[in-house]
Structure 1
Amino acid sequence: MSLPTVQHISECFIKPQYTSEESKQPIHLALWDLAMLSVHHIQKGLFFPKPPPSSDDPKQPINDLLTNLKESLSLTLLHFYPLAGRLATIKQENPPSYTVFIDVENSPGAKFIYAVLDSTISDILSPVDVPLVVQSFFDHDRAINHDGHTVSLLTIQVTELIDGIFIGCSINHSVADGTSFWRFFNAWSEIFEAKRKNLSNFSISRLPIHNHWFPEGHGPMINLPFTHHDQFLSRHEAPKLRERFFHFSSESLSKLKAKANSEFNTNKISSLQALSALIWRCVTRVRRLPYDQQTSCRMAINNRTRLDPPLPEDYFGNSIQTVRGITTAGELLEHGLGWAAWLLHQAVTSHSDKLTREWVESWLASPFIYQLGQFFDPCSIMMGSSPRFDMYGNQFGLGKAVAIRSGYANKFDGKVSLYPGREGGGSMDLEVCLSPDSMRSLESDEEFMNALDLSTEIH
């Protein structure tokens, strides 16, 4: 059964409540930011119960919510002012030079959309696969980050359902990584709650740091060796996919972690590494790859703590790379879970300041822009997002969120995203994107299904 379509009711632009001197200055993108210019935005959002209608005016609670969301967003943008800007470029032909920065002054601000959908939360969450209509809960559908020259760097879309509210956030990935994305979301929720309680102080507990990191001798302007954006941009269209959520309770993850450590006679493998190894092994099996086919499991990793000296935890921007375990399909499946998890453990623990700076020097010598097609390896998987991000702590006066969902952005066959489970306690949700044939086989894979806590599985 197809669901109704999302109808946009209104949209406007939100600026910081007032302009600071700091926000009038151009913000030059660091190298990790520039590398993201050709990939999609970050699109994540939360389902909440709908506030009860008022006896006087059934729409009043929604109108009040929209007003409070807009006003608290304007206050939040005082601290996260880059999100109210647009990208701008200075370029020259000879020698080739293309410099991208954030211009906050010459921008209408962040975008705010109010939309409605004649469906219930259950209509969205009950089907086995994530319905395509979820993609309409976000702005910037199929946009790449370089489009931030003409479209907002941040859009909030509030979609009203019959019995719920979905707050979807789309942020330009050249401006923020996952850590920065959720720092913004947490701060917005914090300010909303302070405003709702009529507190006089709208300060936030963690202030973002906007001083971008550049290696010694470089910055604040990095010139890309191009004369036109066509030389480094591409647009990736995902193949036909099935997208499904799987829930792992804290108990099932504890068993999985214990199994991996026991098999390799260690106690250093984490739950996240054990779970990543499990999905890597199971997806490789259902793909029926040749024995000698190389396969890898990529994992996004935060560079803030890897650098020496480390970057502040509240560094706002991108500070991520990927690390990976590599082997052949035959070797991966001949060995056990612990062997695969140890490959991933080694990839994570060996990612040091030295390796990070070597990557930086290599990039500076020959700058490149990530292309989504590079990550679409039909023989590998990519683990994104993190269960460590505080997602369910955002409430906006609506209580604890019911579920997390994401948009179309940055998905391909083998993309897996990790989220905290709603009940907490170390539980996790896996958002898995696979070809229809591979997903069908995964649903009957004995190793994978045995590891699931079926009594609490969600879709």
Structure 2
Amino acid sequence: MESVVCNGKFELKIKQDEPTRVPPVEETEKGHHFLCNLDQNLAAIIKTIHLYKSPDKGNEDAAKVIRESLSKALVHFYPLAGRLTISPEGKLIVDCTGEGPPFVEAEANCSVSELLSIASVDPMVLKNLVYEVPGAKNIIETPVFTVQVTKFNCGAFAVGIGMNHCMADGISGVEFLNSWGEIARGLPLSTPPSLDRTNLKARDPPQIDFPHNEFVDIEDISNTHDLYEEEEMVYKAFPFNTEKLVRLKEKALEGGVLSKCTTFEALTALVWRARCKSLKMHHDQQTKLLFAVDVRSKLNPNLPKGFFGNGMFLTNALCKAGDLLDSPLSHAVELVQGAVKVVTDSYMRSSIDYFEMKRVRPSINGTLVVTAWSRLDLLSANFGWGKTIYSGPADVPGKEVVLFLPSGEDKRSINVHLEMPISAMKTFELEIMQI
């Protein structure tokens, strides 16, 4: 199989071999692995790439090392060697078959620097570094985990991963990669995984103790869907260096309404307001913000160290677009802070029970979903070639999603990635540039 991408000057070709399976090197537990209600809402494939280049060694043995260490890592993370199925209760569950994930070796006709140059203009090119099963019609037919190792002609290589979000969140995903890297380097696991998710089971009987606006379905009175259909969608990344982030937080604290705020709260508030304005949302348009909060230490009892699963809870803020735009930035920040504060053990238990009773997923009409990877140590996974020279998503966020990625040598700067209709993107850029 060969993928061809042309940027006008250079024709990129990535030749993929036929996939093979990588089962765990030892016999692992069989049967069904429980997925909690938080997992049920996240059944989408997250694609990431991790680029390596060492001055001391080439890429000749890369696929062999990655494959052999993966077979050992899957002994500890054996659900990743299984497949999704439907439980008698009608929920997603993992059938721990031990068959192992598809593994693909590939070669690119370029250097890694040439690839990144193309990706800076066309980020969709990175999808070619992650194996996608042809003909999969739904999430059940799609493997929960795939690996592709792509060699470049400069001695670099890429590890491209596709993992179903129902298996792990960003923190667990990074810990898995680090453990896999430790095994590749012949080291013991510094953080053995804890696979038990029963702490996140619904109560019996379930009880709903709070309103859960994350599930509210919003009417699109601003005809935003028509705008998405009629205009060309464009993708762009906006850099926020440390100086700009300091100015943003100072602006959020103007007027003395707030005594403090975090970088995430200020940046999320700014993006939410700018997006509402850019999409020309009606004054009375309800708009919702969704973002994930790490609840490992908020649950009672806490999730254990090394928890492998989804320890992130999707919280929300809801208001009218007019209220958001007619008020100072501090008001939007307050809404973000309120969404963080509401996340307690009792609130999460109520939300888990809400899904148990209603079986609905969070609606994204009129909604902005902020995904922050800015706190993840994406560069840390080391298979013997040192830390990555680049790690990040292999595809762009959807039209409702804004992605915060770490940037700069110290990773304290943030790049804001999003996709919008072309006219809205122009307005969004003007709003962002004012900081």
TM-score, L = length of structure 2: 0.82
The answer as to 2:14 corresponding to 1:42 is: no
Name 1:449's counterpart in structure 2: 433
| Match for residue 413 of structure 1 among 365, 380, 399 | 399
The answer as to 2:165 corresponding to 1:161 is: no
For 1:185 and 1:210, how far apart are their aligned partners in 2?
15
For 2:359 and 2:258, how far apart are their aligned partners in 1?
40
For 2:92 and 2:402, how far apart are their aligned partners in 1?
30
Measure how far apart 1:41 and its partner are: 0.8
The answer as to 2:329 corresponding to 1:337 is: yes
Name 1:187's counterpart in structure 2: 179
Name 2:35's counterpart in structure 1: 29
Measure how far apart 1:51 and its partner are: 5.8
Measure how far apart 1:216 and its partner are: 4.2
Measure how far apart 1:52 and its partner are: 6.8
For 1:204 and 1:51, how far apart are their aligned partners in 2?
26
1:96-135 to structure 2, matched below 5 A, reads: 97-98=89-90, 100-104=92-96, 106-126=97-117, 129-135=121-127
Aligned residue for 2:76, secondary structure, equals coil
Name 1:228's counterpart in structure 2: none
Contact 2:124/2:394 (<8 A) preserved: no
For 2:372 and 2:133, how far apart are their aligned partners in 1?
19
1:345-384 to structure 2, matched below 5 A, reads: 345-369=337-361, 374-375=363-364, 377=365, 379-384=366-371
1:182-203 residue CA offsets vs partner (Å, 9 max, x unmatched): 22112222322x33xxxxxx32
Measure how far apart 1:218 and its partner are: 7.7
The answer as to 2:190 corresponding to 1:205 is: yes
Could you tell me which runs of 5 or more consecutive residues in structure 2 were left unpaired when the two chains were aligned.
Answer: 1-6, 207-227
Name 2:266's counterpart in structure 1: 274
The count of aligned residue pairs is 400
For 1:396 and 1:245, how far apart are their aligned partners in 2?
29
Measure how far apart 1:350 and its partner are: 1.6
1:230-280 residue CA offsets vs partner (Å, 9 max, x unmatched): xxxxxxxx9763223333223322332233134444333110111111111
Q: CA RMSD in A?
A: 2.9
Aligned amino acid, residue 24 of structure 1: K
Contact 2:381/2:387 (<8 A) preserved: yes
Contact 2:355/2:361 (<8 A) preserved: no
For 2:123 and 2:382, how far apart are their aligned partners in 1?
24
The answer as to 2:76 corresponding to 1:84 is: no
Aligned residue for 1:113, secondary structure, equals strand
Aligned amino acid, residue 170 of structure 1: G
Aligned amino acid, residue 114 of structure 1: E
Could you tell me which runs of 5 or more consecutive residues in structure 1 were left unpaired when the two chains were aligned.
Answer: 54-60, 92-96, 196-201, 220-237, 452-459
| Match for residue 63 of structure 1 among 54, 60, 64 | 60
Aligned residue for 2:313, secondary structure, equals strand
Aligned residue for 1:247, secondary structure, equals strand
Measure how far apart 1:284 and its partner are: 2.0
Residues 311 and 24 of structure 1: CA distance in aligned 2, closer, same or farther (over 3 Å):
same
For 1:142 and 1:290, how far apart are their aligned partners in 2?
42
1:195-230 residue CA offsets vs partner (Å, 9 max, x unmatched): 3xxxxxx321112111112244489xxxxxxxxxxx
For 1:255 and 1:142, how far apart are their aligned partners in 2?
47
Residues 162 and 63 of structure 1: CA distance in aligned 2, closer, same or farther (over 3 Å):
closer
Aligned residue for 2:287, secondary structure, equals strand
Residues 427 and 31 of structure 1: CA distance in aligned 2, closer, same or farther (over 3 Å):
same
Aligned amino acid, residue 314 of structure 1: G
Name 1:296's counterpart in structure 2: 288
Moved more, 112-121 or 275-284: 112-121
Measure how far apart 1:335 and its partner are: 2.1
Residues 424 and 65 of structure 1: CA distance in aligned 2, closer, same or farther (over 3 Å):
same
Contact 2:179/2:191 (<8 A) preserved: yes
Residues 246 and 120 of structure 1: CA distance in aligned 2, closer, same or farther (over 3 Å):
farther
